[in-house]
A = this chain, B = another copy of it.
Amino acid sequence: MITPILDPGKKEPLYEQLYEFIKEEIRSGRLGEGEKLPSKRTLAAYLRVSRSTVESAYSQLADEGYIRARERSGFYVRQAERKFARKQALPEQSPPDSPKRTYLYDLRTSGVDTEHFPFTVWARLSREVLSEYGQELLRATHPQGMERLRICISRYLYDFRRVEAEPEQIVIGAGTEYLLGLLIQLLGTEKRYAVEEPGYPRVHRILTNYGVKPAYIPVDEEGMRVEGLRQSGAQVVHVTPCHQFPTGAVLSAGRREALLQWAGEEEGRYILEDDYDSEFRFQGKPVPALQGMGAPEKVVYFYTFAKSLAPSLRIGYMVLPKSLMGAWREKFQGYSCSVPSFEQYTLCRFMEKGYYERHLNRMKTLYRGRQDALAEALDIPGFRLIGRDAGLHFMLEVTEESYDEEELVERAARAGVYLRGLGDYYASGAEQDGPPRLLIGYGAYDETRLREAARILRKAWEGE
């Protein structure tokens, strides 16, 4: 409906104001050629003017050729001078972070397979949920998310990750940006935070957007150096113990103990454990989460389904220590759960019926195959693979001095393969120490295509 401001106080009669308004709409292209105008009756009722006001405006527009009447159908715009002009005014920005050039292969760490998502099952469960729950889907869930889904998650966490989480400690939300944001609000921005370096650029971004300047804790092949954390004076640390991002290191047993001890020494210290792709572990025994190792009151556990299911679902959760639940409720009790009910019901059924576990097993086999294929194809003299234990990416370390990280990335890019060097993950601006290292994600392509990408890389790096 069109919404002019008609002012009876003006010297122009209402019909003329309406005529001028619609004319301007047509001339500017906001009302496009062939568009139907509201019926006189409808528009008069909507604008609270008499029907003759609309009639006069319409007939003047028709007289001047802006609109035309079609018998028993109504009035239509005749001539649009510019077509929906507003549309062109500001160019749409392409999704940031999307490659500036065109690439044959995007091997960044964010690549996830969505081809093998059991879409048929998901669609069937969605339909079941739609017909079984109906109206119920329109009601808001508990602020922490649907209880039944939290029970599923609690069970899963205990069985697979040894995380001790009552459903009452779980907060379901629309992804990490949202949940980590709530947590920062809960703990306060005046606390001192620390992040791993190299580490997750997104976590760094979330913290700095909250005005928090974190300390940077170095990482080596045993994961985060707890010694460095101790020296930093931080109270809250974000860590990826089961699969350090991006190096792929697993936090060693000694470091785990040291980290938990650090947390226990002072009130108000917390470990934010990000368990982002822990289910895809290919070598060695399962590595349980830090949260279940004896100090659940010191750990906030984060998980997102973005990697294990699909990035578009926007469901994640965090497990809060029981002692923080009171403060959480006080601050966020009036907030709505940020995930639509419909997604929650569907995911709940997906988990309850065992599809989630089956999907993970299937993906694990699939990703392991991809990793093997790519690792084999990238067995290049002068390069060494690191971090093959788990996850959807590994690191390629250059063992010969003759190469430079940026040059390797650039050569790959020129040959059509998008990947990143470890240097991109140093948020502090510090120089990276150690040899050049490249991060390679294998989640998004099948084995044949990965071998092809590897062939291109070899050619680009080794020369003809």
Which residues of A come within 8 Å of B, CB atoms? 1-3, 5-6, 30, 46-48, 86-87, 89-93, 95-97, 114-115, 117, 119, 123, 126-127, 130-131, 134-135, 137-143, 147, 151, 154, 158-162, 164, 166-169, 174-175, 177-178, 181, 185, 188-189, 201-202, 205, 209-211, 284-286, 288, 306, 310-315, 322, 325, 329, 331-343, 357
Contact = CB atoms under 8 A, between A and B. Distances in A.
A185 B209 contact: yes
Contacts of A139: 114, 310-312
B177 A335 contact: yes
A334 B97 CA distance: 7
A175 B336 CA distance: 8
Given A91-B168, A127-B127, A154-B86, A135 B159 contact: no
Given A138-B312, A314-B339, A340-B340, 12 more contacts: A1-B357, A3-B286, A48-B284, A92-B147, A93-B168, A96-B334, A175-B338, A185-B209, A185-B210, A205-B331, A312-B340, A342-B342
A95 B142 contact: yes
Given A211-B188, A343-B342, A90 B286 contact: no
A96 B127 contact: no
Contacts of A117: 135, 138
A331 B204 CA distance: 11
B185 A47 contact: no
Contact of A311 (B97, B140, B178): B140
A329 B166 contact: no
A3 B189 contact: no
Given A142-B95, A312-B139, A90 B174 contact: no
Nearest to A293: B5
15 contacts: A86-B164, A90-B166, A90-B168, A127-B130, A138-B313, A140-B311, A174-B314, A174-B339, A175-B336, A181-B181, A185-B210, A201-B334, A202-B335, A312-B342, A339-B340
